Structure 1
Amino acid sequence: MLLSYRNLTVSFGGPKLLDNAGLTIDKRERICLLGRNGEGKSTLLRILNSEIEQDQGEIEAIPGLRIGKLDQEVPAALEGTVFEIVAQGLGEAAQTIAKYHHLLHEIGEHPDDESIGEQLDEVQHQLDQTDGWAIEHKVENILQRVELDGDQEFSSLSGGNKRRALLARALIKQPHILLLDEPTNHLDIPGIRWLEEFLRKADIALLFVSHDRAFIQRVANKILDLDRGQLTRWECDYNTYLSRKAELLAGEAKQQAVFDKKLAEEEVWIRKGIQARRTRNEGRVRSLKKMREERAERRNIQGKTKLDLSDAQLSGRKVITVDDINYKWGQTPLIENFSTTIWRGDKIGIVGLNGSGKTTLLNLLLKKLEPNSGSITHGTKLEVAYFDQHRDQLDDKLSVAENVHPAGEMVNINGKPRHILSYLQDFLFTPQTSRSPITKLSGGERARLLLAKLFIQPANVLVLDEPTNDLDIETVELLEERLLEYNGTLLLVSHDRSFLDNVVTSTIALEGNGLIEEYVGGCEEWLKKQESNKASAKKQKPATTTATVNEAPPATAAPIQRKLSNKEREALKKLPGKIEKLEAEHAALAELMATPEYYQDPASQLAEDAKRLEKLESDILQAYEALEALS
């Protein structure tokens, strides 16, 4: 046990976010914290990181417990090189080595400045007298693990690489527990895959919040469910949790229905005539009062967002025709010789690395940008609604209601008038919140507000740029359902693999250097090609190291590749069969544990099967690593 909380209670004036909750984190556990927007997930992470204090609760922790945290948003004011940012995680101990690296940069730019040279000599002397060089080695080591260049300016990094640098800063102090708040936000899909593998192999405990279902399934081996102030621990993976939670909620609904029926009967009884009241059972009256109190204290499940798209006239059959377009950003080619036709009813996903030009391609398709060459032709009767990933369409000076409909109190939804406050309740905004400024809204609430603004517009072409960021899983799944029912044309940029695979009919992938490929279905085929290219590049990587300018060649020769021993050759021959057998057993057990009958059968061994499933996952990973090493 690393950390344990008992009777944890937190309230900010409304219903308790945590109500006498309990929490335990053990070594090497990878726990995903789930809950609806506003339930208190980020608040719990802040309590664990000592950023705020709980109202009450007892804590027990190992001596010298270290906790690292990666926040949801990248701080705007961070300056310096990647090395300096990462070194900040070590506090004052790293100031000298950070200053040394800063001076190295300075003297590289001003080699004739003697004052910089004198400062560098002084800092080197300080490092010689302390363990500064050991700190440098520690920073360099963590930078190698996250695959970043320490000499790069932090401000020049992509959003995904900034998060890698901040992850390195959190890891540098070797935390026992790492807290992650929406770690996949702003990462591209290859970046998410890298993070998954990194976290699965890390020798630390994780507690993370995420709405990315594929990421949760790949990383989490435990689930912590925050629901109406209570924390419930599930010793299983995400898919198994979903089926078990559905069973639990169904049982809860039945119990509440029986209770409510009994309460209604008792209310009828106590309102009978005068003669009945004279002879009534006082014990029964006390019991009724207790039932009333219990019903008043019940916290119902938070309502679900209602997403209804406004109907629009049909567009022409041919929506967008792209003919041999080219587009450069400065001297960098983003799109070269790309042609395609988008037909009415197509649901197209757009994927690619961060900075590859996904949003640029959207703007070209919508004619907000002009290509350097080639042409883009729109069909007839297009009505476009656009969801912008930066939420720039929202005006901080206006209230929630004014952002959605600034003109009057009534809105028109599919030909029927509705009051704006009633419409916003479909998106879980109370009348009080709807009248308030949007500056108080969370990221998830802003995303819901933009959906409310978007869905009020009749549209036959829907353009969504990263719509799932900050949304809870229930709202993401409901959005999926509505998009599947949508009869118009959809253009979707997303890094959520499950969302893409469940919604789109084809995928446009920006491969880099201007190359664009099209795939049928979701992003799975593109990911397979990415992995294949990565494996090929690794095989073709030269064994020798090429010396750079002003760098001496390595003193030792490159190692000669040795032949496999007989034992290793035999192991290599057996590994594919072993992997196939392990994966088959894992698939069969996972399928069994996903059925309701499994939980209804008293003979089912939940704990043993969960441990076996986890052991199989570990064995499969080890077998693949062995196969890669021997290959």
Structure 2
Amino acid sequence: MAAPAPILAFENLGIVQGSGWLFRNLDIHVGPRDRLALIGRNGAGKTTLMKLIAGSIEADEGRRTIQPGTRVILLEQEPDLRAYKTLLDYVLAGDDAPMEYEADAIADQLGIDLSRDAASASGGERRRAAIVRALAMEPDVLLLDEPTNHLDIAAIEWIEQWLSRFNGAFVVISHDRTFLTRLTKQTLWLDRGAVRRAEIGFGGFDAWTEQVYADEARNAEKLDAKLKLEEHWLLRGVTGRRKRNQGRLTKLVEMRAERASMIGPQGSANLTIGTDDAKTKVVIDAKHISKSFGERPIITDLSLRITRKDRIGIVGANGAGKSTLLKLLTGELEPDAGQIRFAKTMERIVIDQQRSKMAPEKTVRDVLADGGDWIDVQGSRKHVVGYLKEFLFDPNVLDAKVGTLSGGERSRLLLAREFAKPSNLLVLDEPTNDLDLETLDLLQDVIGDYEGTVLIVSHDRDFLDRTVTITLGLDGSGTVDVVAGGYEDWERKRKAAAPKRGGGNRKVQATAPPPPPAPKVKLTFKDQRDYEILPKRIEEIEAGIVRDEKILADPALYSKDFAKFERLTKEIAAARAEKEAAELRWLELAEKVGG
């Protein structure tokens, strides 16, 4: 069966940036039901390419074709709201604006008050308003540039569910690996001025790129040619880090198992340790701490012992108390009850969400080495050029002004500066915003090598799964779940936990989920059976997809067993289609049940 004709395409696309071509001779097509991940390093031109696809900027050469009547909507990273009084004014602006009732329906589900003043709205509120506008406009092709930035996990999961039911096509730029893995079925890889397309979702991206790099290396050897210097260190660094990350994940599993043995009965927040020797030195010791704001409990009766080399992840919805807990654990806030003791030798560095503080007129050299050529990194002296390479910078940026760097590059520069400082407690508040995937690999690399303790607040599920040994989950009631493992482990516990929570950090007994409510209208025997068994079947399909995607993500699979790689790719696609059909069927029956 032939593939459907593209609804949007480019031939020989090219655009000039600065004094040269950003990219040239690109051929791109988008099918009516494509789920495309657009992948590339910071500076590769992903956002520019997205704007070209949207038609909001013109190409310098090439031809854009689009089927008549096709509606293409772009969700930008940073929409300009300066001209609008309220978020609703922004959502309803323009001749092609959605109807207000359509916007209100989506806003209710996303949990955003559109009457909010636009000038004082937070980053998360602005992002939600932009999502409301984009989705309510009923696009045929939806272009999403970092849609999960500034969103909490509940909002991210809502968007995932919406996109899984979306009947059009979408192209997404994102650093959120879990988001990409769950949703995408094809990949566009923008790399060194060229674009490659593969009919695989993001789950197979690493294996695919490893194969491409290996082929390039073989071809270079055959031609007796060397890669350009900047390409050589980049490719070697990226592939080397991925191999090391596999070893680190194995080590992380061992650390989690060791930490789990130190935790008391399941559900208890009192992390006890078997010994107080140097390897398990206590860094933060909190006993029965509580914190409230007015009548609202934020943290209730939490006991927690954090030791050297623990990696602590803090998760929860916006407003659940993550920042409050972080401030308690770092001594910025005093608890209302209980006590916290800190190691006397604690030296901390904090990397928070406000990464725009570096003076734009300073150079990279100024920021890293006070204008010199050498930098002290955790007590060791390194040449600033070599240190820049470790953080994926071209050495030619050494004397560039900070103000000329992209947001992602500024974030990377800040990481490089902060990680050089001597410390034994690292505090990361939403560290993954504005970072590309390769920089996230690098950040995981650095955290894995860090000798001290790490506290991380993040909504990036995959990042937490790859870095933390303990997860602290907040639900907004004051309860703090303490789980040995990452986000996935916390999510598994949360789903298994009884719905009755109560105050404090007491043991939670798992119970079976309640039976489906009795229908308000009489269903046929088949409908009633489908209504009862489909939720379990959907969970089974989802578990199978996750399992197969983990196998598919093995970098060696593509070259070692291509037949298995191809089979799994097809099976995942079929499973996703089955899951989508099952969800639609259950929703139809749920509507009948609800009357």
CA distance, structure 1, for counterparts of residue 400 and residue 546 of structure 2 = 50
CA distance, structure 2, for counterparts of residue 68 and residue 448 of structure 1 = 30
Listed as ranges, the matches of 1:377-396 within 5 Å are 377-391=341-355, 394-396=358-360
Could you tell me which amino acid in structure 2 is paired with residue 27 of structure 1?
P
Listed as ranges, the matches of 1:192-591 within 5 Å are 192-260=156-224, 302=234, 304=237, 317-329=281-293, 332-391=296-355, 394-406=358-370, 408-528=372-492, 561-572=520-531, 575=534
Listed as ranges, the matches of 1:597-608 within 5 Å are 606=566
Q: Are positions 1:186 and 2:150 aligned together?
A: yes
Rate the CA distance shift 1:584–1:317 in 2: closer, same or farther, 3 A.
Answer: closer
Q: Are positions 1:620 and 2:579 aligned together?
A: yes
Q: Cα RMSD between the aligned structures?
A: 3.8
Equivalent in the alignment of 1:25: 30
Could you tell me which amino acid in structure 2 is paired with residue 384 of structure 1?
R
Q: Deviations over 1:552-587 (max 9, x none)?
A: xxxxxxx98234332224445665786688568767
CA distance, structure 1, for counterparts of residue 96 and residue 538 of structure 2 = 46
| 8 Å CA contact 2:374, 2:381 repeated in 1 | yes
Q: Secondary structure at the match of 1:11?
A: strand
| 8 Å CA contact 2:368, 2:375 repeated in 1 | no
| 8 Å CA contact 2:87, 2:116 repeated in 1 | yes
Q: Note the C-alpha offset of 1:296.
A: 8.0
Q: Secondary structure at the match of 1:16?
A: strand
Aligned residues: 536
Q: Note the C-alpha offset of 1:465.
A: 1.4
Rate the CA distance shift 1:81–1:480 in 2: closer, same or farther, 3 A.
Answer: same
| 8 Å CA contact 1:228, 1:301 repeated in 2 | no
Q: Are positions 1:35 and 2:45 aligned together?
A: no
CA distance, structure 1, for counterparts of residue 327 and residue 547 of structure 2 = 46
CA distance, structure 2, for counterparts of residue 438 and residue 564 of structure 1 = 65
Could you tell me which amino acid in structure 2 is paired with residue 2 of structure 1?
I
CA distance, structure 1, for counterparts of residue 369 and residue 195 of structure 2 = 38
CA distance, structure 2, for counterparts of residue 398 and residue 330 of structure 1 = 44
Equivalent in the alignment of 2:49: 44
Q: Note the C-alpha offset of 1:405.
A: 3.4
| 8 Å CA contact 1:19, 1:230 repeated in 2 | yes
Q: Are positions 1:10 and 2:19 aligned together?
A: no
Q: Secondary structure at the match of 1:250?
A: helix
Percent identity of paired positions between Structure 1 and Structure 2 = 35
Rate the CA distance shift 1:31–1:534 in 2: closer, same or farther, 3 A.
Answer: farther
CA distance, structure 2, for counterparts of residue 506 and residue 173 of structure 1 = 41
Q: Deviations over 1:442-487 (max 9, x none)?
A: 1110111111111111111111111121222122123213322323
| 8 Å CA contact 2:7, 2:30 repeated in 1 | yes
Could you tell me which amino acid in structure 1 is paired with residue 438 of structure 2?
E
Rate the CA distance shift 1:58–1:297 in 2: closer, same or farther, 3 A.
Answer: farther
CA distance, structure 1, for counterparts of residue 118 and residue 498 of structure 2 = 26
Equivalent in the alignment of 1:69: 74
Structure 1 or 2, whichever has the larger Rg, is 1
Rate the CA distance shift 1:416–1:515 in 2: closer, same or farther, 3 A.
Answer: closer
Q: Are positions 1:166 and 2:130 aligned together?
A: yes
Rate the CA distance shift 1:373–1:588 in 2: closer, same or farther, 3 A.
Answer: closer
| 8 Å CA contact 1:349, 1:507 repeated in 2 | yes
| 8 Å CA contact 1:315, 1:460 repeated in 2 | no
Rate the CA distance shift 1:158–1:331 in 2: closer, same or farther, 3 A.
Answer: farther
Equivalent in the alignment of 2:505: none
| 8 Å CA contact 1:316, 1:381 repeated in 2 | no
Most deviating of 518-527 and 13-22: 13-22
Equivalent in the alignment of 1:280: none
Equivalent in the alignment of 2:272: none
Rate the CA distance shift 1:71–1:177 in 2: closer, same or farther, 3 A.
Answer: same
Q: Deviations over 1:59-83 (max 9, x none)?
A: 1111233221111235463644443
Equivalent in the alignment of 1:129: none
Q: Note the C-alpha offset of 1:334.
A: 2.6
| 8 Å CA contact 1:315, 1:380 repeated in 2 | no
Q: Deviations over 1:14-63 (max 9, x none)?
A: 56322201110111211110011111111111222333322211111112
Could you tell me which amino acid in structure 2 is paired with residue 83 of structure 1?
L
| 8 Å CA contact 2:444, 2:466 repeated in 1 | yes
CA distance, structure 2, for counterparts of residue 246 and residue 189 of structure 1 = 30
| 8 Å CA contact 1:315, 1:382 repeated in 2 | no
| 8 Å CA contact 1:316, 1:379 repeated in 2 | no
Could you tell me which amino acid in structure 2 is paired with residue 503 of structure 1?
T
CA distance, structure 1, for counterparts of residue 38 and residue 535 of structure 2 = 35
| 8 Å CA contact 1:350, 1:358 repeated in 2 | yes
CA distance, structure 2, for counterparts of residue 318 and residue 600 of structure 1 = 45
Q: Secondary structure at the match of 1:470?
A: coil
Q: Secondary structure at the match of 1:68?
A: strand
Q: Deviations over 1:500-546 (max 9, x none)?
A: 11111111122213332211111123324555689999x99xx9xxx
CA distance, structure 2, for counterparts of residue 458 and residue 391 of structure 1 = 20
Q: Deviations over 1:262-284 (max 9, x none)?
A: x9xxxxxxxxxxxxxxxxxxxxx
Q: Deviations over 1:85-118 (max 9, x none)?
A: 3212xx1476xxxxxxxxxxxxxxxxxxxxxxxx
Q: Note the C-alpha offset of 1:626.
A: 3.9
| 8 Å CA contact 1:575, 1:627 repeated in 2 | yes
Could you tell me which amino acid in structure 1 is paired with residue 304 of structure 2?
T
The runs of 5 or more residues in structure 1 that have no matched partner are 95-133, 264-294, 309-313, 544-558
Q: Note the C-alpha offset of 1:190.
A: 1.9
Equivalent in the alignment of 1:53: 58
Q: Deviations over 1:584-624 (max 9, x none)?
A: 87678767766756667787794x87455323212123325
Q: Note the C-alpha offset of 1:211.
A: 1.1
Rate the CA distance shift 1:577–1:193 in 2: closer, same or farther, 3 A.
Answer: closer
| 8 Å CA contact 1:315, 1:379 repeated in 2 | no
Q: Secondary structure at the match of 1:36?
A: coil
| 8 Å CA contact 2:51, 2:74 repeated in 1 | no
Q: Note the C-alpha offset of 1:140.
A: 3.8
CA distance, structure 1, for counterparts of residue 319 and residue 547 of structure 2 = 40
Could you tell me which amino acid in structure 2 is paired with residue 491 of structure 1?
L
Q: Secondary structure at the match of 1:446?
A: helix
Rate the CA distance shift 1:462–1:601 in 2: closer, same or farther, 3 A.
Answer: closer
